[in-house]
Amino acid sequence: MKAVIFDLDGVVVYTDAYHYKAWKKLSDDQGWAFDESLNDQLRGVSRMASLQVILDHNGIDLPEEKKVELATRKNEDYRAFLAGIDDTALVDGALDFIRALRTRGVKIGLGSSSKNAMMVLEKLGIDSLFDEIVTGKDISRSKPDPEIFVKGAQRLGVEPAETYVFEDAVSGVDAAQAGGMVAVGFGPSEGLDHADVRVMRFADLDVDTFVATGKPA
């Protein structure tokens, strides 16, 4: 293990609630059905792809320019909701674990499909914890395509096989494995059993054991 790349939403910071509020507002305005079950399908998925999931669920077909307009409106609402983000949104134990990895010489990366990832990191003052950051602005293909993690490993100067990826979404686990990396399925979400390593909470990890063996404890 020479590097660990973290997804942002649901792994370092809980932003699901802000995404949900923004998609719910857009859906309500448009008269579309949208609930938390559908929102769960959007985790780790790009904004435009998420909009398509909602449209398909509602049996709606729209021209591309209308989709871009609606996705932009959702993003504006999301950024407005994010203005109130604070330390309470941090995943318990995430920062301590990242700092512990750094002290042991492990390179740290962030791989988030969100184009607002830097805004979140900067508002919380944690951007400096990451040696390299790849966001939705840096890629052309969304997870489960491995592009985001491959770029992260390249920027960190490590081989994919030397890289562990913490992900809480199926699409993210699939992306890490497609890139030849070790996928750590993090958190209680269903569908992550095919991850190479399964971790429910950062508190379950012994840092030295993890660095030495790649196993929780």
CATH number at 92 reads 3.40.50.1000
Q: Residues 9, 77, 168, 174: which is the catalytic one?
A: 9
Give pLDDT, residue 158.
98
Q: What is the pLDDT of residues 13-71, one digit of tens each?
A: 998 889 999 999 999 999 999 999 999 888 778 889 999 999 999 999 999 999 999 99
Assess whether 99 and 47 both reside in one domain.
no
9 is catalytic: yes
Domain final position from 82, 105, 132? 82
DSSP string, 6-68: E-SBTTTB--HHHHHHHHHHHHHHHT----HHHHHTTTT--HHHHHHHHHHHTT----HHHHH
Assess whether 199 and 112 both reside in one domain.
yes
Give pLDDT, residue 46.
81
Assess whether 119 and 102 both reside in one domain.
yes
Give pLDDT, residue 90.
97
Give pLDDT, residue 131.
98
C-alpha distances out from residue 71 to 50, 76, 116, Å: 9, 9, 13
Assess whether 187 and 122 both reside in one domain.
yes
Domain span at residue 20?
Answer: 16-82
7 is catalytic: yes
Kindly state the average pLDDT of the residues 127-148: 95
Give pLDDT, residue 190.
85
Number of domains the chain is built from: 2
pTM of the predicted model, to two decimals?
0.86
Assess whether 174 and 136 both reside in one domain.
yes
Assess whether 60 and 102 both reside in one domain.
no
Q: What is the pLDDT of residues 152-175, one digit of tens each?
A: 999 999 999 999 999 999 999 999
Domain final position from 62, 82, 102? 82
Assess whether 76 and 181 both reside in one domain.
no
Assess whether 115 and 159 both reside in one domain.
yes
Kindly state the average pLDDT of the residues 132-137: 96
Give pLDDT, residue 42.
87
Assess whether 38 and 8 both reside in one domain.
no
Assess whether 106 and 41 both reside in one domain.
no
Confidence of residue 147 (pLDDT cuts 50, 70, 90): very high
Assess whether 38 and 129 both reside in one domain.
no
Domain final position from 36, 61, 82? 82
Distance (Å, whole) CA 110 – CA 214: 19
Assess whether 75 and 182 both reside in one domain.
no
